Structure 1
Amino acid sequence: MDGMQEKIKFDTEEGAVEFFVLEETRVNGCNYLLVTDSEEEEAEAFILKDVSDASEAEAVYEMVEDGTELESVSKIFTELLEDITFE
């Protein structure tokens, strides 16, 4: 996973969490981020969906948990990043 530079901070109920942004895409008018919690080769990756209102100053992201949506968006990220494998 070369080229990871951007790191973003999320505030959760458990406290602040930082993720490395691998890629972003827009599907059906929704923005998605592919993020990871580590720069290691076998790191866990998560897909986040922007659920914020257009009038909000900052984006609000939630983890994609719907199986159909997760599968669909993960296929797009797989095409964008040829060296990524989802399990």
Structure 2
Amino acid sequence: METQPSLGPVLERLQAYRKAADLSYSRLARLAGLSRAALLGMDAEDWSPSSTTIRAIESLIPSTWRVGDPVPETIAKPGKARAA
């Protein structure tokens, strides 16, 4: 019998990206087109997001980004003006 792969690494990536990009739950929700409620508990070990929530957040993360990498400022803070 084939087992489903663990979502642990996927959820860890989403959580790490939010923190690395310094995004509040509200800002991440807006960028991903989600409600803030969908992200409540995101940093808890037992967070169980829907597949729609996972895909929406993943769509914001560059495919080459890995946990521990810095987040380019233009990606981390889209729409915010850069300081001169």
**Which structure has the larger Rg over C-alpha atoms?**
2
Larger strand proportion of the pair: 1
Relative contact order higher in (CA < 8 Å, ≥ 6 apart): 2
TM-score (norm 1): 0.27
Larger helix proportion of the pair: 2
TM-score (norm 2): 0.27
